[in-house]
Amino acid sequence: MSEAELSVIIPTYNEHDNVRPIIAKLEAALTGIAWEAIFVDDDSPDGTAREVKEVSKDKPNIKVLHRIGRRGLSSACIEGMHLSTAAYMAVIDGDMQHDETRLPLMLERMKNGADIVVGTRYAGEGGTGDWGAARLGMSKFATCLGNFLLRKNRTSDPMSGFFMLSRELFDEVAGKLASDGFKILLDILASSKRKLKVQEVAYTFRTREFGESKLTLSVLGDFAMLLIDKSIGRFIPAKFVMFAVVGCIGLLLHLCILGILNLVFRVEFVYAQIVATLVAIICNFYFNNIFTFGDTALKGFKRVVGFVLFLLICGVGAIPNVMLAKYLYSGHIYWMGAGAAGLVVTAIWNYAVSSRFVWRK
């Protein structure tokens, strides 16, 4: 079974309708190659994992790692690679947006000595298909920043989710990869100490036929997360840093609204404070949903439930805040220090509890 020389790792979340078509496409593209597909599914509600198991009954080279209680594109890819024993591993999206017909060429480049071959949209005949100006702009911006971060191992498309690498390279970097977020390729390139032999194969990003994207809104946030992780992430969890940044923005917004309502519109202080608090919490929830917890972002009705929960958590978190601040203040700690200490305690509480219950993996 594990005589496969190429493992194709396919992270999936709600890709039920894409399972059979992508397997058919891989079979057509990889004739003559000893390959296996490893789907890594995060217990998709639409039954993606069940569908793969169904297909794998008569196809021993199709496997699925069914993760329960977990979410995340990068960690899915990493765990899929850990399951593989093949000499070469490719990562490809499960929605057919990547061009699987490029895989044989990528494999050939690997055999000719490359450490990693990147499927690129930004070189040669590559393209981004039907992307709008906003997404293209964001992607290009992230590409520039990404290459700034990389220095040694640059590529025209460090944000690509389509690439192939050798087992040696994976073994070298596996322990250093951040499992949060989506930017697995950038992470691999940044985590190797060596100057790698990076090669590229151009492809055009296809339009999605079934299901919907999980990333669009959070591309930027995801990227910011990786930057934080690669800089101060060693000391403080990147998500907490992002959560605190969002909290600071919320605080500024709060003060602006409070000031405008109270001073300009002469709204009574208590009412102005209530409105400002609510707006700040909504803003915090909204930005945390996109940036801090972009990989497990809530959508539709779940977002409403999540918001109510967040509101409750923040409400409870305000109690130790006020108590601690009051205690310190009565112990003659300067008002600003007492207030800030209360805020820090609340921030930790809000982060710990909401990452566990609102945006759980």
Which residue in 97, 120, 292, 355 binds Mn ion (CB under 5 A)? Answer: 97
Q: 167 or 206: whose CB is closer to Mn ion?
A: 206
What is the Cα–Cα distance from 153 to 286, expressed in whole angstroms?
35
| CB-nearer residue toward ligand GDD: 135 or 167 | 135
> Which residue among 126, 158, 161, 247 contacts ligand GDD (CB under 6 A)?
161
Q: Are 44 and 76 in contact (CB under 8 A)?
A: no
Q: Using the rule CB under 5 A, is 95 a contact of Mn ion? A: yes
Contact yes or no for 205/100 (Cβ under 8 A): no
346 binds, among Mn ion, ligand GDD, none (CB under 5 to 8 A by kind): none
Q: Which two tokens stand for residue 175?
A: 């322990």
- Taking the C-alpha atoms of residue 72 and residue 3, their distance in angstroms, rounded to an integer, is 28
- Segment (H or E) for 118: strand 116-120
Pick one of ligand GDD, Mn ion, none as the site partner of residue 342 (Cβ within 5 to 8 A by kind): none
Residue whose token pair is 């699987």: 100
- CA dihedral 239→245→246→247, nearest 10 degrees, is 110
Number of residues that bind ligand GDD (CB under 6 A): 25
Taking the complex as a whole, how short is the minimal distance between the CB of residue 65 and ligand GDD, in angstroms?
A: 9
Q: Find, among 91, 97, 170, the residue nearest to 130 by Cα.
A: 97
- Write down the least CB distance from residue 232 to ligand GDD, Å: 23
Check residue 193 and report its DSSP letter: S
Q: How far is the CB of 133 from ligand GDD (least distance, A)?
A: 14
Residue 150 · residue 139 · CB < 8 Å: no
Residue range at the interface with ligand GDD (CB under 6 A); choices 90-98, 259-267, 334-342, 352-360: 90-98
The one of ligand GDD, Mn ion, none whose footprint includes residue 215, by CB under 5 to 8 A per kind, is ligand GDD
CB 264 within 8 A of CB 313: no
Pairwise CA distance, residues 69 & 361, whole Å? 6
36 three-class SS = strand
Residue 53 vs 135, nearer CB to Mn ion: 135
If contact means CB under 5 to 8 A according to the sort of partner, which of ligand GDD, Mn ion, none does residue 64 touch? none
Residue 101 binds ligand GDD, judged by CB under 6 A: no
Q: Which stretch binds ligand GDD (CB under 6 A): 214-222, 245-253, 302-310, 350-358?
A: 214-222
**Shortest distance in whole angstroms from residue 220 CB to ligand GDD:** 11
Residue 3 neighbours by CB distance under 10 Å? 9
Residues in contact with ligand GDD, shown as a per-residue x/- string from 251 to 290 under the rule CB under 6 A: ----------------------------------------
DSSP symbols for 147-191: HHHHGGG--S-TT-S-EEEEHHHHHHHGGG---SSS-HHHHHHHH
Query: Is 288 a binder of Mn ion (CB under 5 A)?
Result: no
Rg (CA), the chain: 23
Q: Does 94 bind ligand GDD (CB under 6 A)?
A: yes
Q: Which residues contact 78 (CB under 8 A, 6 or more apart)?
A: 174, 177, 179, 184
Please report how close the Cβ of residue 58 comes to Mn ion at its closest, in angstroms.
28
Q: Exactly one of 108, 216, 299, 357 binds ligand GDD (CB under 6 A); which one?
A: 216
Tokens 């990547």 -> residue: 98
Closest to Mn ion by CB, 97 or 354:
97
Q: Is 213 in the site for ligand GDD (CB under 6 A)?
A: yes
Which residues contact ligand GDD by CB under 6 A?
11-13, 15, 40-42, 71-73, 76, 93-95, 97, 139, 159, 161, 182, 213-216, 219, 295
Which residues contact Mn ion by CB under 5 A?
93, 95, 97
